[in-house]
Amino acid sequence: QVQLVQSAGEVKKPGASVKVSCKAFGYNLNTYGITWVRQAPGQGLEWMAWISTYNGDTKFAHKFQDRVSMTTETSTRTVYMELRSLRSDDTAVYYCGREFCDGDRCYLPDYWGQGTLVTVSS
């Protein structure tokens, strides 16, 4: 069955970078991409970025396009999301999700990872 398993939580200092992984099971990576969504404490869901695990195409929310990068390691079916220049307001639970995109349009995730808490604190 479809499953996404994320890496464990991390504590980082302001200005540092964090890399979160998402390992995919149970479906064809050529058909769906991986999206990253975060939820800060007491806040709502925030869509960050998407990567095609087929050809590496990416889409970004404007506020993240300069600080987020994503890579796919096809051999291990793992997607990595790196967020740079961390600030205290980046403290959040980061979720990966399986998302189908058709050309310029995406349909939002159907399956989700368990979430990774990233805490940014000096």
Partner 1 sequence: QSVLTQPPSVSAAPGQRVTIPCSGISSNIGNNHVAWYQKLPGTAPKLLIFESDKRPSGIPDRFSGSKSGTSATLGITGLQTGDEADYYCGTWDSSLSAGVFGGGTKLTVL
Smallest distance from partner 1 to CB 103, Å: 11
Which of 61, 39, 66 lies closest to 50 in space, CA to CA?
61
Task: Look up residue 76 and give its two tokens.
Answer: 């291990």
Is 99:121 a contact under the CB 8 Å cutoff?
no
| CB of 11 or CB of 108, closer to partner 1 | 108
| CB of 18 or CB of 113, closer to partner 1 | 113
Q: Given phi > 0 = left and psi -120 to 50 = alpha, else beta, which region is 77?
A: left
Q: Which of 1, 62, 89, 122 binds partner 1 (CB under 8 A)?
A: 62
79 makes contact with partner 1 (CB under 8 A) = no
How many Å apart are CA 19 and CA 29, to the nearest integer?
21
41 makes contact with partner 1 (CB under 8 A) = no
10 makes contact with partner 1 (CB under 8 A) = no
89 makes contact with partner 1 (CB under 8 A) = no
Beta-ladder partners of 71: 80
Contact footprint for partner 1 (CB under 8 A): 35, 37, 39, 44-47, 50, 59-62, 95, 97, 99, 104-115
